[in-house]
Amino acid sequence: ETGVTQSPTHLIKTRGQQVTLRCSSQSGHNTVSWYQQALGQGPQFIFQYYREEENGRGNFPPRFSGLQFPNYSSELNVNALELDDSALYLCASSEQGNTEAFFGQGTRLTVV
Amino acid sequence: DAKTTQPTSMDCAEGRAANLPCNHSTISGNEYVYWYRQIHSQGPQYIIHGLKNNETNEMASLIITEDRKSSTLILPHATLRDTAVYYCIVRVVRSGNTPLVFGKGTRLSVIA
């Protein structure tokens, strides 16, 4: 158990729809990162939030957006879902300063 | 893109040491070597990290060559529960958090 919780655990959406995934970070951690993991691949960095501001982004289009709240929990929003968005979405929380990141169990998103 | 090269898969007998190699020949002076593992259907789990000295914790040992171009993760007495994908990651050090860049990792199978 890492103390990082994600919801929901599984989700099925239709192409073109929008989805919101949620992450509750470990107590005391002020940085949240989101990753996308396609089947058979390693996780790919989407973006990172620190003190409610995005402070790093990977090679993902603007329809991937996020929020971080004052309690450091976070949301990942994906608009106009595509079939290729089907993946495991992972949230990781950490403190500032390149400390170890603690991952949640992920949300398995299937787009049909 | 990941800056590390790892074998695709390895087998290890239960109770024996598992030695997982990683090549990072282009590592910079301010980059640490991190190891994570991902057990099936779970989020990645931090194992260990180091800069240039060998490191040991309750999970594993990390041996980094003197020129820092390669490293080996050692699980001293592998158990069936160590079956997982192991990721070697190099990560720059700066004041803010930098994302983890995952490759495809090494799939370790521990065999009874």
Q: Quick: pLDDT tens for B8-52.
A: 999 999 999 999 999 999 999 889 999 999 998 899 999 999 999
Chain B hits for A90, CB-CB cut-off 8 Å, are: 43-44
Residue among B43, B95, B103 minimizing CB distance to A42: B103
Q: Is B3 on the interface with A (CB under 8 A)?
A: no
Chain B hits for A55, CB-CB cut-off 8 Å, are: 96
Q: Quick: pLDDT tens for A59-85.
A: 999 999 999 999 999 999 999 999 999
Q: Quick: pLDDT tens for B87-105.
A: 999 988 766 678 899 999 9
Tokens of B9: 């898969």
Q: What is the pLDDT of residue B30?
A: 87
Sequence-ordered list of residues with C-beta below 8 angstroms from that of B74, at least 6 positions apart, any chain:
B17, B18, B19, B20, B60, B61, B62, B63
Query: With an 8 Å Cβ cutoff, are A2 and B91 in contact?
Result: no
User: Taking the CA of residue A58 as centre, how many other CA atoms within 13 Å lie in the half-sphere pointing to its CB?
Assistant: 19
Instruction: Classify A15 as helix, strand or coil.
Output: coil
Q: Is B92 exposed, middle or buried (0-12, 13-18, 19+ CB in 10 A)?
A: middle
Which segments of B26-95 does DSSP mark as H helices, in order? none
Residue showing tokens 């890492």:
A2
Q: What is the pLDDT of residue B95?
A: 60
Measured in angstroms, the CA of A20 and the nearest CA of chain B are apart by 19
Say if CB B72 and CB B35 are below 8 A apart: no
Q: What is the DSSP letter of A41?
A: S
Say if CB A92 and CB A44 are below 8 A apart: no
Q: What is the pLDDT of residue A100?
A: 83
Q: Is A32 exposed, middle or buried (0-12, 13-18, 19+ CB in 10 A)?
A: buried
Chain A hits for B100, CB-CB cut-off 8 Å, are: 33, 35, 43, 45, 92, 101
Residue among A4, A94, A103 minimizing CB distance to B97: A94
Q: Cα A109 to the chain's mean position, in Å?
A: 11
Chain A hits for B34, CB-CB cut-off 8 Å, are: 100
Given a cut of 50, the residues of chain A with pLDDT beneath it are none
Q: Quick: pLDDT tens for B63-78.
A: 999 999 999 999 999 9
What residues pair up with A10 in beta bridges, in sequence order? A108
Side chain identity at A26, as an amino acid letter? Q
